Structure 1
Amino acid sequence: MDGKIHAVLGAGTGVAVAQTIGMEPVDTAILMSAGVIAGLVPDLDTAGKLANKISLSHKMIQGFVRTVGILAGAYAWFGLEGYAMYVGLALGIFLLVIAPKFSQKLMLLISGVAIIAAGVALTEVWVWLSGIYVAAAALVGHRSYTHSIAGLLFFAVIAFYINERFALEGLFWALVLGYASHLLADMRLVPGNKRGIKLFLPFSQKLI
Structure 2
Amino acid sequence: MDGKLHAVIGAGTGVAVAQSIGMEPVETAVLMGAGIIAGLVPDLDTAGKLANKISLSHKMIQGFVRTTGILAGAYAWFGLSGYAMYIGLALGIFLLLIAPKFSQKLMLLISGVAVIAAGLAMSEIWVWLSGSYVAGAALVAHRSYTHSIIGLIFFAIIAFYVNERFAMEGLFWTLVLGYASHLLADMRFIPGNKRGIKLFLPFSQKGV
How high is the TM-score relative to the length of structure 1?
0.99
* Pairwise CA RMSD: 0.5
Q: Does 1:153 align with 2:153?
A: yes
Aligned to 2:191, what secondary structure does the other structure show?
coil
Matched letter for residue 157 of structure 1: I
Quote the Cα distance in structure 1 between the aligned partners of 2:173 and 2:11.
Answer: 12
What percent identity do the matched residue pairs reach? 86
Q: Secondary structure at the match of 1:198?
A: coil
SS in 1 for 2:168: coil
Distance of 2:126 and 2:146 partners within structure 1:
17
Q: Structure 1: how far apart are the matches of 2:63 and 2:95? A: 11
1:165-180, aligned counterparts within 5 Å?
165-180=165-180
Instruction: Give the equivalent residue in structure 1 for 2:42.
Output: 42
Give SS of 1:56's match. Answer: coil
Q: Report the TM-score, using the length of structure 2 for normalisation.
A: 0.99
Equivalent in the alignment of 1:104:
104
- Tell me which stretches of 4 or more aligned residues in structure 1 moved more than 2 Å: none
Q: Does 1:63 align with 2:63?
A: yes
Number of aligned residues? 208
Cα offsets for 1:73-116 (capped at 9, x unmatched): 00100111111110000000000000000000000000000000
2:122 maps to 1:122:
yes
Unmatched segments (≥5 aa) in structure 2: none
Q: How does 1:138-149 map to 2 (within 5 A)?
A: 138-149=138-149
Distance 2:192 2:66 in 1: 43
Partner of 2:191: 191
> 2:125 and 2:44 mapped to 1: Cα distance?
20
Indicate the SS of the match to 2:56: coil
Instruction: Provide the residue aligned with 1:30 in structure 2.
Output: 30
Structure 1 gap segments, 5+ residues each = none
Residue pairs, 1:61-100, within 5 angstroms:
61-100=61-100
Q: 1:142 deviation in Å?
A: 0.3
Q: CA deviation at 1:191?
A: 1.6
2:87, 2:163 → 1: CA distance?
54
Structure 2 counterpart of 1:168, one-letter code: M
